[in-house]
Structure 1
Amino acid sequence: MRALSSWACDPAHSRGRLHPEERAALRGPRDEYQRDRDRIIHSIPFRRLRHKTQVFVAPDGDHFRVRLTHSLEVAQIGRTIARALGLNEDLTEALCLAHDIGHPPFGHSGEEALQAATVAAGGFDHNAHTLRVLMKVEKPYPRFDGLNLTWETLEGLAKHNGPVANPSWAMTEANAAFPLELGSWPSLEAQVAAVADDIAYDNHDIDDGLRAGLLSREQIMEVPLVARGWRTAAERYPDISERRLLSELVRSQIGLMVNDLIAETRRRIREAGVRSVEDVRAAGHALVGFSHAMQAEERELKAFMYRELYHHPRQLAASEAAAVMVSGLFAAYSADPGALPDGWRETLPPEEPERSRHIADFIAGMTDRYAIARYRERVGPIDLPEGF
């Protein structure tokens, strides 16, 4: 076992789980964070990520990324950074693998539609819904709801993007059940998971955008960071195909970002005088991050991706269809709750807002293809743009 830095989360000093578990019921020689990671991997919500949108809604091509493959790529990047910084790799991996479990079908388009449909019931937020799924909605164990994850894993999922100043109703409910100190910064493992997510989609979405024909090589050369990486790859490998150069570009750009992040984070830890996990939470600012130069280039890359890929006309058409389906499903099940599957119908709360939140839980758990099938079954036909 690798030695942990003094500022890493130590499973031997975990704050524990909401529901105490008998040692006799625990299986295998695993520590607390290893158990959390394994519970996430073996969960149904994690398996459903293989049919949930990453960039493209219900893509036809087998080579496009989905939420599951994205989460695995985030975990690989997160573990690499965690190891270099002496952090707990298992906790980092658990956070990376679980960070998108709360996403409804059709990605951010589905989330926005579900938020609009449930505004009278308090709205919907995928990050808070991750906590709701892992603490309440899933019920694989005999004596408690949820996966009963450790405090550190739940805290990291709640705050991986920083302190939560204005928690939603779902986050407030989770925090009331198991106080997560929402006003403080999370562990370095959680901070690593957040930036690993950015690194993964910043680079892999370029790959998918080119593969789908929504981006061209000429377009991506508008981004100085990408153009510089492409020139370096082309000079190193002058005789290989453009397709293979693209793969080299993505790999080298991820490496560039990871190395910058590690160096900058070490500098911040040193200058902040951090010696413990408590120092991390009390620092008052993020300790994991890019240098100023890389941060500026990464923001420029993000702006390009939003302009040219995420807001591409084909993507906007797909998003519009996704919003119609999610809104239509919510309206259909609200009007006729008897159409819910047996388990969901039998546990439907009689009063609002719990009733609408229960229906939203059901819809949020749908995969893209299941949502499409249920819409056609409950609402009617829908013309889906190219790519579905």
Structure 2
Amino acid sequence: MVRSLLASDPALSRGREFAHNASETRGPRSAFQRDRDRIIHSIAFRRLKSKTQVFVAPYGDHYRTRLTHSLEVAQIGRVLARTLGLDEDLTEALCLAHDIGHPPFGHAGEKALDEASARQGGFDHNAQTLRTLMRLESPYPAHDGLNLSWEVLEGLAKHNGPVTHAHPALAELDSAYALDLPQWSSLEAQVAAVADDIAYDNHDIDDGLRAGFLHLDDLLAVDWVADGWRAVEQQYPRVERSRLLRELVRNQIGLMVNDVIEHTRAMTRDLASADEVRAAGRMLAGFSPAMHEQERQLKAFMYDRLYYHPEQVAAADKAREVVARLYAAYEQEPALMGEGWAKATPAAEPDRTRHIVDYIAGMTDRFALKQCQEIYGLVPGDLSNV
């Protein structure tokens, strides 16, 4: 691989929030490789295995969770980074960590926490990712957090581009360790963001078809997906449909990946450094206008037919009730969080609310249900719909 002039260089990293002994390398790794490894070995990363991706607390072993989704994002991100000559380790670290701040039950849990903590600024999963990595996940004796490099933290903070109105939790972290929030991020961070889109656009189709919430005939209403299906049928006329559907998803991923590579190269042709990427003032890594429109159509279909499916909405309502009940219980009686968390509960706001939110946001689906059962003697019905 030829390294691009636009790649982030770990040897030129802006450093870490807390000083560290440079002689303690623990193996021949770059700064970004160390960041990736710290993320993979963290408790917060392991908890993703039992957090909702699309389906709430699924019984089936074949449905994606936040962990498997993050691994799939990282695989796509690595391919993009390697082909574009970017730093693959930085890209992988960003892909693996991007969902660490998600609470139990996915967006349903996020909405419940946002409503419960609204008087103290609400909840944002991206800000919670930074808070988890910079303050809560603390395995080291010399400092709080994982002490990741500036480039990883910056890329995670700008998950959806520059931040002009930071969530209070993110603003507090930025005040302690400035992340240049109003500026565009590295090309690696931009690649990680589009890898996330490619992964969930296509893998959620796979899960939706498996669950029976999506049907092929409905999916073919999306014109460019229908074109892909006809091509697969023509290439494999006597193969069973289940295999063809997975081939369709693979082909769509490949189509999107190739489009991102071609478009990103065109957008960055006249740039000569990573600093010029940040100063460009616009998104450089992403879909071409034509693919962007096709992806928008697919997203609209998925929201209509899968994410807002009546059974999904019903499960999400139950999940929000679980989270809301947990918050109410801990707010009234912090001792219910357990000795360590209860003892550390601040007396003043907004720290008190944020402490309770931190506790709930770190839960897996399973642990949240267990806690609700122990506190209230019941949970609001069967949350799983697959």
- In the superposition, the TM-score normalised over structure 2's length comes to 0.98
Does the 8 Å CA contact 1:325/1:375 hold for their aligned counterparts? yes
Runs ≥4 residues deviating over 2 A: 23-26, 385-388
Residue of structure 2 in register with 1:323 after alignment: 320
Residue of structure 1 in register with 2:81 after alignment: 82
Residue of structure 2 in register with 1:334 after alignment: 331
Deviations 1:292-349 (A, max 9, x none): 1111000000000000000000100010001000011000000011111222112111
Residue of structure 2 in register with 1:161 after alignment: 160
| Aligned-partner Cα distance in 2 for 1:160–1:293 | 23
Does the 8 Å CA contact 2:56/2:383 hold for their aligned counterparts? no
Does the 8 Å CA contact 1:122/1:169 hold for their aligned counterparts? yes
| Aligned-partner Cα distance in 2 for 1:135–1:195 | 24
| Aligned-partner Cα distance in 1 for 2:220–2:46 | 36
| Aligned-partner Cα distance in 2 for 1:209–1:363 | 28
Matched, 1:253 2:252: yes
Residue of structure 2 in register with 1:291 after alignment: 288
Give the letter aligned to residue 374 of structure 1: Q
Give the letter aligned to residue 285 of structure 2: V
> Secondary structure at the residue paired with 1:19?
coil
Query: Pairwise mapping of residues 1-388 of structure 1 onto structure 2 (< 5 A)?
Result: 2-270=1-269, 273-381=270-378, 382-387=380-385
| Aligned-partner Cα distance in 2 for 1:377–1:5 | 55
Deviations 1:36-92 (A, max 9, x none): 000000000000000000000110100000000000000000000001110000000
Could you say what the CA RMSD is over the residues aligned between the two structures, in angstroms? 0.9
Give the letter aligned to residue 355 of structure 1: R
In terms of mean alpha carbon deviation, does 16-25 or 170-179 score higher? 16-25
Shift of 1:229: 1.1
In terms of mean alpha carbon deviation, does 308-317 or 221-230 score higher? 221-230
Shift of 1:239: 1.0
Deviations 1:279-299 (A, max 9, x none): 011101000111111110000
> Secondary structure at the residue paired with 1:24?
coil
> Secondary structure at the residue paired with 2:382?
coil
Q: How many residues align?
A: 385
Give the letter aligned to residue 275 of structure 1: A
Does the 8 Å CA contact 2:126/2:159 hold for their aligned counterparts? no
| Aligned-partner Cα distance in 2 for 1:222–1:140 | 50
Give the letter aligned to residue 381 of structure 2: D
| Aligned-partner Cα distance in 1 for 2:68–2:305 | 23
Give the letter aligned to residue 148 of structure 1: N
Give the letter aligned to residue 223 of structure 1: V
Does the 8 Å CA contact 1:314/1:386 hold for their aligned counterparts? no
| Aligned-partner Cα distance in 2 for 1:232–1:168 | 46
Does the 8 Å CA contact 1:264/1:288 hold for their aligned counterparts? yes
Give the letter aligned to residue 30 of structure 2: D
Shift of 1:100: 0.1
- In the superposition, the TM-score normalised over structure 1's length comes to 0.98
Does the 8 Å CA contact 1:8/1:86 hold for their aligned counterparts? yes
| Aligned-partner Cα distance in 1 for 2:166–2:107 | 19
| Aligned-partner Cα distance in 2 for 1:68–1:277 | 30
Shift of 1:386: 4.5
Shift of 1:379: 2.4
Shift of 1:350: 1.4
Does the 8 Å CA contact 1:71/1:100 hold for their aligned counterparts? yes
| Aligned-partner Cα distance in 2 for 1:330–1:386 | 21
Deviations 1:227-278 (A, max 9, x none): 11111111111111110001100111000000001000100101xx211111
Give the letter aligned to residue 97 of structure 2: A
Identity percentage over the alignment? 60
Change in 2 beyond 3 A, CA 1:385/1:39: closer
Does the 8 Å CA contact 1:329/1:379 hold for their aligned counterparts? no
Does the 8 Å CA contact 1:136/1:146 hold for their aligned counterparts? yes
